[in-house]
Structure 1
């Protein structure tokens, strides 16, 4: 059985490192002779990729959380699952046939 330890927020760590790279890469590029325009373009590209990855990671976290919640909610009850013995289904019609 799983322990109830809280899981670390790895998405925030990944995004933090990506933001750090968005700052560090242009500095290194300018330091080693790349034009300011080239470094700016690289920064914008890295920022766009970082933002897209952040959105995808957060969506993935939400989906995983929904799946965990569905697993812990018990067996699914739907069209193809039988209700317990003796259970009655409610319908639109009352008990008399007219």
Structure 2
């Protein structure tokens, strides 16, 4: 899966890039044709936010998801969990509940 990482008032370090890649890797084995994820990191005062959009999931783009925390790595972890849940819900809607 390809992912695009951008920062709004945030310098994208190698550690952030590696952490996002590691967390998004678990989306690969979900049985969907997810080709791209767009992630934007932003700082609002003391709040760190990570916004992610799954693009081209079985031919359609899903709703953007936002997660916030006081630490950017925690925000990325929360975002990855939310994106994983979104893919799982999408799969259940498209292909029925797992048996």
TM-score, scaled to structure 2: 0.31
**Counting helix residues as a fraction of each chain, which structure ranks higher?**
1
Higher alpha-carbon Rg: 1
TM-score, scaled to structure 1: 0.32
